[in-house]
Amino acid sequence: MKVIVAVKRVVDYKTAIRIKSDGSGVETANVKMSMNPFDEIAVEEAVRMKEKGICKEIVVVSIGTDTSQETLRTGLAMGADRGILVKTDQEIQPLAAAKILKALVEKELPKMVLLGKQAIDTDNNQVGQMLGALLNWPQATFASEINFHDDGVSVTREVDGGLETLFLNLPAVVTTDLRLNEPRYISLPNIVQAKKKKIDILEATELAGDIEPRVKTLKVDMPEKRRAGVKLENMADLVERLKHEAKVI
């Protein structure tokens, strides 16, 4: 079977975040970028599926500018077979991403779509769910274990009360969590080999008509620095501070 894995280019998690001078968003110029860590887990899981003979082809997909080809090359170096860049210069919000991926799914006809549960730059945690709804496919989010059976796939996911196992008929959409696996180290020969693999470039407007943003960002600010704690001698001092300084009682 064929598996599509969606990957996103984000600011590297080890990089200190800086806000643009006009407060319009996060500064990305001259900043180290990398594949979203949750998407990296999704690619690793797809590669393990291929090594077990479960899937025959892995297609990594990214939406963005030409620079997103670097992220696709990382996925190809991990073991994906080919890449697709959906090219666009405009902001892509979750619904637009889901619409684009839906069009690609209808074009490529995979049996499974794997995505990271969320991107670390926006933390929206919406694309997988929206894609499943648009396709009318079964979906399982926050997967910490995936097992295939003759008639479908079982997905174990972490919930507030412990672990929950769902059984899905294929085709299906699955989003991955941190505990699913640990992505492999990419060797130099695989990096070289990835440069020879094919990346198709498509225009976003050709795949999905309406991809205009639904949400407008008014301003982005850094959170307040945490103030040092104060040690109080007794409960009376605490009540006094809550009354007159914090004004919460």
Classify residue 249: in a domain, yes or no. Answer: no
Each residue's pLDDT tens digit, 51-97:
999 999 999 999 999 999 999 999 999 999 999 999 998 888 999 99
The b/e string for 44-83 (b: 16+ C-beta within 10 A; e otherwise) is bbbbbbbeeebbeebbbbbbbeeebbebbbbbbbbbbbbb
The b/e string for 224-243 (b: 16+ C-beta within 10 A; e otherwise) is eeeeeeeeeeeeeeeeeeee
Classify residue 109: in a domain, yes or no. Answer: yes
**Percentage of the residues of the chain whose pLDDT score is greater than 70:** 99
Outline where the chain has alpha helix (H).
37-51, 69-78, 94-108, 127-135, 188-194, 204-207, 235-244
The answer, yes or no, to whether residue 248 has pLDDT greater than 80, is no
Residue ranges making up the domain that contains 122: 2-224
CATH number of the domain that 194 lies in? Answer: 3.40.50.620
Each residue's pLDDT tens digit, 157-182:
988 888 999 999 999 999 999 999 99
Classify residue 241: in a domain, yes or no. Answer: no
Question: How would DSSP label each residue in 215-233?
Answer: S------PPPPPPPP---S
Q: Give the Cα separation of 176 and 141 in Å (integer).
A: 7
User: How many separate domains does the chain show?
Assistant: 1
Classify residue 242: in a domain, yes or no. Answer: no
The answer, yes or no, to whether residue 206 has pLDDT greater than 90, is no
Each residue's pLDDT tens digit, 93-133:
999 999 999 999 999 999 999 999 999 988 889 999 999 99
Question: How would DSSP label each residue in 23-42?
Answer: SSSB--TT--EEE-HHHHHH
